[in-house]
Structures are given as C-alpha cells and as structure tokens.
C-alpha cells in the first residue's frame, strides 16, 4: 500500500486536503500575528464561495475530467464548510453586537445546510415509496 493510501485510510482525507487545511491554519495564524485577521477571514470566505460556485457549475457535467474536478471541489467544500462558517460568524460578530442575533446566525450557518439536505431527502423518499398495505374503511 502506498503512503498516500495509508494516510487516506488513517485520516479519511487525501494528502491534498491535509495540505490545504494546514495552509488555511497557517494563513489564520499569520493573519492573527500581523493584525490582519479580518482581511484574511474575508479572503478565506471569498475563496470558499468561489470554490462552492465552481463546484455547482462543474457538477452538471456527468463525465470526463469535469466530473472528477467537481468531485474534488465537492470534497473540498465539504471539508472546509465548518471552518468557513466559523470564520463567517466571527466576522459577523465584529459588526453585530447582539448575542441573540449571533446565535441565530450561527445556528443558521451550522445547522441550516444539514436540515435542508434532510428535508429534501425526506421529500424525495416520501413520493417514491409505494404503500405496503392498503387501508380499508
């Protein structure tokens, strides 16, 4: 087994994803040390948004290199979402000073996509499954 495969099995992430995570952490530390954390946070959130938009564009293609690229972008957006949402909440806290509004925004950012995904899956499943037994009256 190659060393890249061993790392993937042990961590669940590819070497590229691990290097990108370390790069993001290094950027955040550099931003904190140089007092440019807001600019670094805005840049990382913009990078996440661009990656998400590219993923949505390339996801429409069902075959070839475009599909592989869309799969890579999907893995990146999934892995980066939590960090990007925490940075967005932190940036929002610099502007909004109401704890209740920050809590609502945090719940919307962190739990919103999961709830939407679950609701869409339930809606799809409810129409596809036939009833097992008919109801007699």
Mean of pLDDT values over 41-57: 88
Mean of pLDDT values over 34-61: 87
Check residue 131 and give its pLDDT: 55
pLDDT surpassing 90 at residue 68? no
Check residue 101 and give its pLDDT: 92
Alpha-carbon span 80 to 74, nearest angstrom = 10
Alpha-carbon span 37 to 91, nearest angstrom = 9
Check residue 83 and give its pLDDT: 82
Contacts 24+ apart (CB under 8 A), 16-21: 17/75, 17/76, 17/79, 20/76, 20/79, 20/80, 21/79
């Amino acid at each position: 087994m190659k060393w890249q495969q061993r790392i993937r099995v042990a961590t669940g992430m590819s070497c590229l994803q691990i290097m990108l995570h370390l790069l993001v952490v290094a950027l955040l530390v550099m931003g904190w040390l140089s007092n440019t954390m807001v600019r670094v946070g805005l840049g990382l959130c913009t990078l996440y948004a661009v990656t998400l938009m590219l993923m949505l564009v390339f996801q429409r293609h069902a075959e070839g290199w475009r599909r592989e690229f869309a799969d890579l972008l999907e893995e990146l957006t999934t892995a980066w979402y939590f960090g990007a949402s925490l940075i967005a909440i932190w940036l929002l806290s610099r502007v909004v000073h109401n704890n209740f509004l920050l809590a609502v925004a945090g719940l919307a950012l962190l739990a919103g996509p999961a709830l939407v995904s679950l609701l869409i899956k339930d809606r799809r499943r409810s129409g596809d499954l036939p009833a097992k037994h008919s109801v007699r009256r």
